[in-house]
Amino acid sequence: MTQGTLSDSWYQVAQSRVALLPTVEAQAQRYRGQAWVLLEDGYSHRFYRVTPQAYEFLRALDGQHTVDETWQDLAKRHPEGTPGQEEVVRLLSQLHLSSLLYFKEQPHADAISERLRRQRSREFLGRLLSFMYWRFPLFGLDKYLDRVLPFIRACTGRVAGLVWLAAVAWGATTAFEHRGAISNGSEGLLSLSNLPWLYLATTMVKVVHELAHAFVCKRYGGQVPTFGVMVLVLAPLPYVDASASWGLRNKWQRAYVGAAGMLAELFLAALACVVWATTADGAVHSMAFNVMIVGSLSSLIFNGNPLLRYDAYYILSDLVEMPNLYQKAQAQWLHYGSKYLFGLREHPEPAQDRHERVWFTVYGALAFFYRWVVTLGVLAYVTDQWFGIGVAMVVTTAITMVLMPAAKLWAWLRVASGTMRTRALAAMGGLVVTAWLLLFVLPLPHALRLPGVLEARQSSPLYLQAPARLQELPVQHGQHVRKGQLLARFDNPELSLQLELIDSQIAESRVQLGLALSGTPAEVAPLQARLQALEARRVEAVKLLASLEVRAPQDGEWVAPTLHERLDAWVDRAQPIGEVVDRSALRFAAVLPQADVAELSPALPPAVATELRLAGRRGQALHLAALRMVPYQRQRLMSPSLGFGGGGDVAIRPDDSSGTTAAEAFFEIQAEFAPGELPADLAMHGMTGVLRVPVAPKPLGRRLWAGLQQLLQHRYGL
């Protein structure tokens, strides 16, 4: 006989005459090498898993004999395989809550009906309050699938798998070849002109996604009783009920049902990528692009994340053979709180062994935090697009995820015993006081981490003033040069021809002016004006020709790491060709965001308290001699390597091709090195690093509150 042979709660169920509902069917399954029995209610399509010993007891319940009589009889016949009273009480309670039991007494039957009514009311209220996930069933799909069963088998077999593999490989290759165009086109994905195409593509992809689930489920004999519409973040999308896959004995078949939607989306995305790459601008081109983006990103980011209760979650549950992983992980943490916080030593634990305990504990913690991250991200996105709707969603989130759990806890405290209530209140009070002290009383040290680059105090970037062909490079990258030394020679035959033409026009104008002075005085003034304009053009042409010989404007090191690759190639006007840098005097220029300026008021901390770590030596801290804040805002970064495009952390404007215009204005902090502090091997102009500047200690809660205020003011003007 199992643990918990006798139970103090046995009297509550001992005289009940119960039995499983006639609609409940049972089938044997194995999870992680252990035998289980899966109970399925064919009417409500609900599933429940029990041990073989518990199922033997449930089979013995006939509604004629009491629970105690049945248990006593089974204990006499099979003393080693009979579940204990505590397990029976818990089992009957859970089956009762799932409405899988039939009570012979009418009052219990009425209670079941009343409980079903309350449960449906709670589910309806939950759908109203859950802004991210509403479901509305429309009609049954199973009878239609039965008619096309041969087609379903063809679409989900091995041949279809080979076709899928070839199509996805083709689409992935095409996407890689056009990755630049895809990246540029994605910037306008949420524009108003593209939103209708995006929603139409999403609807089409999701219809195929849900039908794929239904097809694979039907292939292995499962029923698909419902086709409906779900509202996901205010967007209506289709869904099917493929929960019958839980009854499949093979875990790989169950995983295939869960993965079918993602596989179908990737197949559509691959075909759409090929269509998009081979069509010109138009309706087909736009539709294919949106199908490609939706089918790939939604599959990999949302459905492919097991921490969200989408496809990957069910695949993970099937492969690790832990049904209802999310609910059991929540119950595991509820068990920890009830046992260790409120002192309920007898609170049931969902984990059956150490392996399940680790899974439930880790998954529950990760899913909880990730759920909040996704929720806050969705709220921020919707509020940015539609402020009023976002505020309503914030209120709904506060009700469902904060106030309702608090109300349930308060209701439990009201009915708890005096000792238990006192301990629970003391524990919660201690947690609140501890959290208050940590967040709003205890000052914590803090430091700003500011990205920046090494830059020379004297540097001269060089640009080409006219388009020309690179003809000669007498100086190589990294060589030391003197002021006036030739660095590069360019050639533009058109400029030479233009100068010859201007000289001819000047000579012609001078002859015409001499004739006008002797014969037609009225033409003198126009000819003089034309001659002056030609001479000005000649001066400009001579300057441009002279600029084709690029010379060093100062002493220093010639920095042009890629210029040699353009030898004998055409270089456009205003293109940077290199820079002459004086490496003997370097400083570090850091980016200070506007949101962090208040942290450094009224004055910068002493330079000796700061430290700098360069990209080449993250483990070596360099100390500084002086700090100075440039007293005006700037928008252009000191180097493209500080922006997102160059691998940095600073957001840049999407319309800036140079990657040096920051999305928000910032302040510059210049840091000077002490003599001999900067090693020679690190004295590289343009090397990135991070400047750590300590600020006054503050409690963490005050910093979070200040950050929230800045966010609301910056994004919403509040």
* pLDDT of 109 higher than 70: no
What percent of the chain is modeled with pLDDT above 90?
6
- For residue 27, what are the CA distances in angstroms to 35, 39, 246, 305? 11, 7, 11, 30
Task: For residue 100, name the pLDDT band (cuts at 50, 70, 90).
Answer: confident
Q: Which two tokens stand for residue 192?
A: 């108003």
Distance CA(118)–CA(168), nearest Å, equals 48
Contacts of 276 (CB under 8 A, 6+ apart): 285, 288, 289, 292
* pLDDT of 1 higher than 50: no
Task: For residue 12, name the pLDDT band (cuts at 50, 70, 90).
Answer: confident
State pLDDT tens for residues 339-348: 877 777 766 7
Closest CA to 678 of 626, 623, 615, 608: 623
What's the confidence (pLDDT) of residue 165?
Answer: 94
Task: For residue 628, name the pLDDT band (cuts at 50, 70, 90).
Answer: confident
Question: Where, residue-wise, is CATH 2.40.30.170 in the chain?
Answer: 449-457+582-698
* pLDDT of 365 higher than 80: yes
State pLDDT tens for residues 518-548: 777 778 788 888 888 888 888 988 888 888 8
Q: Which of 45-54, 93-102, 155-164 has the highest mean pLDDT?
A: 155-164
Q: Which two tokens stand for residue 147?
A: 């008619």
* pLDDT of 644 higher than 50: yes
Query: What's the whole-number average pLDDT of the chain?
Result: 80
Closest CA to 241 of 94, 424, 45: 45
Report strand pairing: 661-673 vs 235-240.
unpaired
Closest CA to 579 of 486, 460, 476, 454: 460
Q: Which two tokens stand for residue 702?
A: 């005050």
* pLDDT of 131 higher than 60: no
What's the confidence (pLDDT) of residue 3?
Answer: 46
Average pLDDT over residues 276-290: 87
What's the confidence (pLDDT) of residue 362?
Answer: 92
Task: For residue 305, name the pLDDT band (cuts at 50, 70, 90).
Answer: confident
- For residue 308, what are the CA distances in angstroms to 251, 313, 326? 20, 6, 9
CATH code for the structural domain at 449-457+582-698: 2.40.30.170
What's the confidence (pLDDT) of residue 129?
Answer: 47
- For residue 534, what are the CA distances in angstroms to 429, 530, 693? 89, 6, 59
Q: Which two tokens stand for residue 559?
A: 């920095």
DSSP structural state of residue 440: I
What's the confidence (pLDDT) of residue 112?
Answer: 45
Q: Which residues pair with 667 in a beta bridge?
A: 592
Entry field: residues in the chain: 718
Average pLDDT over residues 253-282: 89
* pLDDT of 75 higher than 60: yes
State pLDDT tens for residues 309-321: 788 888 888 888 7
C-alpha torsion angle, residues 246, 251, 255, 257 (rounded to 10):
-50
State pLDDT tens for residues 367-383: 888 888 888 887 877 77
* pLDDT of 139 higher than 70: yes
Domain 10-124 has CATH 3.40.50.1260: no
Question: Where, residue-wise, is CATH 3.90.930.60 in the chain?
Answer: 10-124
Average pLDDT over residues 401-422: 76
State pLDDT tens for residues 343-363: 777 667 788 788 888 999 999
Task: For residue 268, name the pLDDT band (cuts at 50, 70, 90).
Answer: very high
What's the confidence (pLDDT) of residue 124?
Answer: 54
The least confident of 85-94, 120-129, 157-166, 193-202 is: 120-129
What's the confidence (pLDDT) of residue 6?
Answer: 64
Task: For residue 163, name the pLDDT band (cuts at 50, 70, 90).
Answer: very high
* pLDDT of 495 higher than 90: no
* pLDDT of 210 higher than 90: no
Average pLDDT over residues 259-265: 90
Average pLDDT over residues 595-602: 78
Q: Which residue has the higher pLDDT, 48 or 693?
A: 693
What's the confidence (pLDDT) of residue 167?
Answer: 93
Task: For residue 201, name the pLDDT band (cuts at 50, 70, 90).
Answer: confident
Q: Which residues pair with 673 in a beta bridge?
A: 624
Q: Which residues pair with 670 in a beta bridge?
A: 589, 628
Average pLDDT over residues 392-420: 78
* pLDDT of 151 higher than 70: yes
What's the confidence (pLDDT) of residue 251?
Answer: 83
